[in-house]
């Protein structure tokens, strides 16, 4: 038990330090999020748009610039969380193999990576909520923060998954960008009218998008769509752990292979 806890805390510490040493990730987290929100505010008119929110079951009217800022914040969080998690997972492949072959237990190491995703998503959500609070008349800050954290968890899990599957960093970056653009773009009511198209509700960010818009733009705060983000977070996290488990060698497996070759 003590060895498992030591392995968990040590790998969590190493993972978080890896995030801090990643200068590009820090720049993206600190600068990209407010810049992207500011671009949405400057490039979108104040014309009132009428959109329907399934979360509250009624149409609402809001300035397009406010709706665009919320959508841009979600897109920024997904990209940054995906990039940060993917980069660390991809670059730590060899180190993870060495630790496993040195006798570190597998499960605590995998859980440490998932805990690092959760901490990263929470910090990004807090920071983005503060930025939106300064830029917008946010009605309910706590549900908005939960929505942003849900977005970070979903794409953090996707980053974990891609970091174990793809062979090159360029492929991983491309997939994260495309997934995020498609996911946020289809649900942005400022740029399209696809909010009611069948199938949009199955996208990873549908729940957090509904929760973020209702929390920011309406007196009500519908919590039920947040459950969808929890389901997506659990699914991507579990799938990422499964892939990490199967793609990282165990000490016993290497020992058996060595014995077979020696025989």
Q: How many CB atoms lie within 10 A of CB 64?
A: 18
The DSSP code sequence of 51-104 is: EEETTTTEEEEEEHHHHHHHHHHHHHHHHHHHHHHHHHHHHTHHHHHHHHHTT-
- Work out how many domains the chain is built from and give that number: 1
Whole-model pTM? 0.85
Residue identified by tokens 């998932």 is: 114
Q: Mean pLDDT across the chain, nearest whole number? A: 81
Q: What is the pLDDT of residue 2?
A: 62
Structure tokens at 47: 């014309």
Domain membership of residue 88 as a residue range = 2-262
Lowest mean pLDDT among 4-8, 45-49, 73-77: 4-8
3-state secondary structure of 188: coil
Arithmetic mean of pLDDT, 218-227: 73
pLDDT tens, residue by residue, 137-159? 888 889 899 999 999 999 998 99
Alpha-helix residue ranges (DSSP H) falling in the chain: 2-21, 23-27, 33-43, 64-91, 93-101, 106-135, 141-165, 169-186, 206-217, 224-247, 251-262
Q: What is the pLDDT of residue 107?
A: 79
Structure tokens at 178: 């495309």
Q: Which candidate, 204, 191, 256, places its Cα nearest to that of 45?
A: 191
- Give the CB-side neighbour count of residue 47, counting CA atoms within 13 A: 8
Whether 251 has a pLDDT exceeding 80, the answer reads: no
């Amino acid at each position: 038990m003590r060895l498992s806890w030591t392995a968990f805390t040590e790998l969590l510490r190493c993972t978080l330090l890896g995030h801090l040493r990643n200068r590009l990730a820090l720049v993206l987290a600190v600068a990209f999020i407010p810049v992207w929100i500011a671009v949405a505010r400057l490039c979108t008119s104040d014309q009132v748009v009428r959109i329907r929110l399934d979360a509250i079951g009624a149409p609402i009217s809001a300035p397009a610039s406010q709706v665009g800022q919320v959508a841009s914040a979600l897109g920024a969080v997904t990209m940054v969380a995906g990039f940060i998690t993917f980069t660390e997972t991809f670059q730590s492949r060899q180190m993870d193999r060495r630790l496993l072959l040195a006798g570190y237990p597998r499960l605590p190491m995998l859980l440490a990576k998932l805990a690092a995703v959760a901490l990263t998503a929470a910090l990004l959500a807090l920071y983005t909520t503060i930025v939106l609070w300064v830029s917008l008349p946010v009605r309910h800050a706590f549900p908005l923060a939960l929505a942003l954290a849900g977005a970070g968890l979903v794409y953090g899990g996707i980053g974990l998954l891609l970091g174990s599957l793809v062979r090159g960093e360029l492929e991983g970056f491309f997939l994260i960008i495309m997934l995020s653009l498609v996911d946020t773009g289809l649900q942005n009511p400022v740029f399209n009218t696809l909010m009611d198209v069948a199938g949009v509700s199955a996208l990873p960010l549908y729940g957090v998008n509904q929760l973020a818009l209702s929390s920011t733009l309406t007196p009500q705060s519908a919590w039920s769509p947040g459950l969808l983000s929890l389901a997506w977070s659990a699914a991507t996290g579990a799938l990422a752990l499964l892939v990490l488990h199967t793609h990282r060698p165990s000490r016993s497996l290497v020992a058996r292979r060595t014995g077979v070759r020696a025989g």
